[in-house]
Amino acid sequence: MNLHALQHHQFPSQRFTYSVKDTALYALSVGVGDDPLDPHQLRLVYEKTLRALPTFASVIAVPAPWIRNPAFDVHYERLLHGEQTLTMHAPLPANADVEAHYRVIAVDDKGAQKGALLHFERSLSELATGETLCTVTSTLFLRADGGCGSFGVPPAAWPSAPTHAFSGTPDFTDELTTTARAALLYRLNGDLNPLHIDPAAATAGGFDRPILHGLCTYGIAGYLLVRTACEHDPSRLRVLNVRFKSPVYPGETIRLEAWRGPEGIHFQAIVPERNQVVLSNGFARIQ
């Protein structure tokens, strides 16, 4: 890859408007509304009382596939979305005009045979007030671009999990069974990758059938935390970090297993039908 081009590229800021319809659609796409008589769920989909899920930020003002810019010379066909972190500075309004700023924070070279980690940041500010709402950091695993050098300072590691975490009985669990059409709905948030809808594209990618978006699994985990650890109050979820471990197929159950630590909640998400961990190294900070 062209490390110099990545380090010095200037991303133009973007302005984006989202409506209550977008906010409600996102909530529906991560499983809210399976009980339309539940007042807690209605607050996340009904415009009269609408509150945005924090993970809605993961689909707001997402830039075009910038990593494919020929100037960067990245082998994007070997790229994996490794981790996702959300830091909330203020609750997301149900509808707003926002301005997004983008930058590559760092590239962490692991060696010619091991690849490199690229840390990309997107921050959202409300135009009306200038207040910074959130910071979204994506860690991209460039499997074929190691040995090219590093720059910047990678984000600090999250607090270590307590010794009892990820073994034995979780402190709490919650789960949601996705529908067979979950990916068809989630893609309407903007990620139109055919891997999630076209059986031929899924087969070419090495899957038996279309898979669920990783960020949909992430959003479901966030929703489960909101309704358990946050007692249905979205504003209490301030930090959410995960590592993407394995894909989910629409129709499968996503079970959150969580352990409380001194600095936050440590969790993983599994698909019990296959006993497969799909999100690992989860960490959430609750206000």
pLDDT tens-digit map of 154-212: 999 999 998 888 988 999 999 999 999 999 999 999 999 999 999 999 999 999 999 99
Write down the catalytic residue from 38, 73, 171, 191: 191
- Which of 119, 196, 213, 266 is labelled catalytic? 196
Query: Does residue 232 have an active-site annotation?
Result: no
Residue 232: which pLDDT band, with cuts at 50, 70 and 90? Answer: very high
pTM for the model: 0.96
Q: What is the pLDDT of residue 266?
A: 97
In this predicted structure, what is the pLDDT of residue 168? 84
What pLDDT is recorded for position 167? 86
Given the residues 211, 254, 265, 270, select the one marked as catalytic. 211
Q: Of residues 115, 146, 214, 222, which has the active-site annotation?
A: 214
Domains of the chain: 3-142 (3.10.129.10), 172-286 (3.10.129.10)
pLDDT at res. 164: 86
pLDDT at residue 193, as a whole number: 93
Known active-site residue 196? yes
Looking at residue 257, its pLDDT comes to 98
pLDDT of amino acid 277: 98
Return mean pLDDT, the chain: 96
**How many residues appear in the chain?**
287
Assess whether 33 carries a catalytic annotation: no
Is residue 266 annotated as part of the catalytic site, yes or no? Answer: no
| Mean pLDDT computed over 38-58 | 97
